[in-house]
Structures are given as structure tokens and as C-alpha cells.
Amino acid sequence: MTTLSNKPATTASDASSTAAASPVETPSAQHADKRIYLDGKLVPPGEAMVSVFDHGLLYGDGVFEGIRVYNNRIFKLGTHLRRLYESAQAIRLDIPLSIEELATATRQTVQANKLTDGYIRLCVTRGVGALGLHPFTCAKPSVFIIADKITLYPEELYKNGMTVITSSVMRNHPGALSPRIKSMNYLNNILAKIEAIDAGLLEAVMLNPQGYVAECTGDNIFIVRPDPTGKPVLMTPPLHAGALEGITMNTVIALAQKAGIPVTRPDLTKHDLYTADEMFLTGTAAEIIPVTKVDGRAIGNGQPGLMTKRLLEAFQGLVKNNAPED
């Protein structure tokens, strides 16, 4: 049975914005009026079941997207679906719906749940098959869509900034599993997340096998550093460093460029993070959240920076009334 969080976070954080790592994402208390899209039907959560023989469950063999709904508009739906189909192509998974049919199913699910602002989780599993690894014993992929609420972090962290650590868990080598595939196997990220939780925090920076910054467990990373003339430059790791091609990340880059803010994508080290003037994270569920401390080192003056606030305001303005659906 599928469930998704919609209760507000209850974790505590101190004045330095270090959140206690008690559970933030908690299941909805009431799901009776919810409807889940499952293989062509809208069903109550109690009937939204996948087989124990589904390779998505047995092996994490599948792909997914997380998508935001703002004021009755599905933000970047077309872009999300194109990324979903790219991920499926990369793992040789044939989605049993056209991109137009899947867009229609997504809209129907949102409407059935009367969701004006919230979060969509769209998953495609390999389907039911034999107990062995062989993926082509699976007769037909399964598609399910959840439309609900989500709260990743306490509201105070968006105001005051969050504290993160650098995880000892290395980001998957691209030669083993491309980080650009948004697969249902998130164990690499989960192990780093556990390390953050054990440290009393909610997020961790992941490095690639070469020691460069890749991303956080669920978010892309941005920092602000001055160029040789002292002009602030927005920086985020390149895709080859092991970062997912985040849709919120690309939106922030476009907003920065529109505002005349220089953007570069160099390989970044921990030293670059430690000595940055500003730092923030982006993601569909997280949106934009400032970081004010890394590994015990204050970022800038220890408060969310001016560029972070400027880009957050621009992003909120973009999605508030007429969020683009392309």
C-alpha cells in the first residue's frame, strides 16, 4: 500500500538552525478521501497495492519523479515527464503510456484529490516478474501516481538556515549507476541521510569518488563566492560531478541569469563550501532552503545571504500565480 507524508514537521532546532533529526516526513493521518492512480484506475489508498513480486519492490528496479503543484498548476510537468522517460530509456524500461497519456493521468490524479498546492509522486516499476534479477521476466511495468502534501524541513530552517555535514558515504560512481537516472533505488542517498540523522541533522553533502562535491542526499547545492574582481558569482557542481539534473536547480539558474547574476559550474571542494559567502539547496520537495553551517563552519555571517533571498523571492514569484507547466 502506498502512503505519502502530509503532516507538518515537528522537529526542533536550536538558534544556530541545527534541526533535531526526529522524523519530519510523517504519514497522513487520514487517507479515506484520497485517490491513487494505479495502472489506469483511481483507487482508495487501501486498494493501491503492488505485488510482492514487483521488481520495483524486490530490487528498486524502476524510475520516479517528484513534482510540485502550485495554485492548481503542475510546475514543469512537461520537463519532469521528459526526465522520467529519459531515466526509463536509460534502464531499458518501456513505460506503457505515452507522455501525453501520462500527463493526463497526472492531472486526473491531482483533480481527484482536489489538490491546489502540494506534491506528486509518479512511479513506474519494472512490474511483476520472477524472483531472480532478470528484468525481462516482468510482463508489464506498473504505474502509480500519488498526489498529496509534503513537508521536508521545519519552517524555521527556511527562515534561519540549516546546518549540514559532509557525509562519509561516497556518491555512486557514474560508471556504476548514473546519478542522472532518477531510479527507485535510493540506498546510496539513504545511507548518507542516516549519517546526517545520526549527527542530529537533516541533510548531508555527498562527495564523488574524486573528492568533489556532487549534491546532497535529496537536493542540489549552490554556493556564492566572489570572482577575482570581488563580484559575487553563483556556483553549482557540474553534472559530471555526480549531480542529478535538478529541475528546480535549472529554474534557479535561469532566474539568476535573467537577473544578470553570473553562474558557473566548476568542480567544487569542501574548501569551496567552507569559505563560501552563501549556500543554499534546491529540490522539488525542498524548493529553496538556505544553509548557514557546514561541518561546524559558519557560512558567511551565519545568516541566509542576500542572493539566496533574492533568488527565493524570484522563485516564489514565478510559481505563485502562473507556474510554468512546460
% of the chain with per-residue pLDDT over 90: 89
Query: What nine digits make up the cell of 202?
Result: 537533516
Instruction: Identify the bridge partners of residue 68 per DSSP, sorted by sequence position.
Output: 119
What the chain holds in terms of domains, given with CATH numbers, is 36-148 (3.30.470.10), 155-320 (3.20.10.10)
Distance CA 312, CA 42 (A): 35
Q: Of 34, 76, 182, 193, which one is the catalytic site residue?
A: 182
Count of CA atoms in the C-beta half-sphere (13 A) of 136:
2
pLDDT class of 13 with cuts at 50, 70, 90: very low
182 is catalytic: yes
For residue 18, pLDDT beyond 50: no
| C-alpha pair distances (Å), 171 with each of 17, 164, 198, 206, 240 | 26, 16, 19, 6, 12
Count of CA atoms in the C-beta half-sphere (13 A) of 142:
23
Ranges of beta strands (E only) in 276-315 are 278-283, 287-294, 297-298
Amino acid type, 57: L
Per DSSP, the residues of 31-56 read -TT--EEETTEEE-GGG----TTBHH
Distance CA 172, CA 189 (A): 9
Mean of pLDDT values over 257-264: 98
- Asked if residues 166 and 294 have their Cβ atoms less than 8 Å apart, the reply is yes
Burial 260-274 (b: 16+ CB within 10 A, else e): ebeeeeeebebebbb
Query: What nine digits make up the cell of 288?
Result: 529553496
Q: Does the model's pTM come out above 0.85?
A: yes
**Region for 206 from its dihedrals, namely left if φ exceeds 0, alpha if ψ lies in -120 to 50, beta otherwise:** beta
Alpha helices in 29-168 (DSSP H): 55-59, 77-90, 99-112, 155-160
In the chain, the N- to C-terminal Cα span, in Å, equals 31
Of 90, 70, 65, 91, residue with least CA distance to 80: 65
Mean pLDDT rounded to a whole number for the chain: 92
Characterize the bridge pairing of strands 41-43 and 232-235: unpaired
Each residue of 122-180: pLDDT tens digit?
999 999 999 999 999 999 999 999 999 999 999 999 999 999 999 999 999 998 999 99
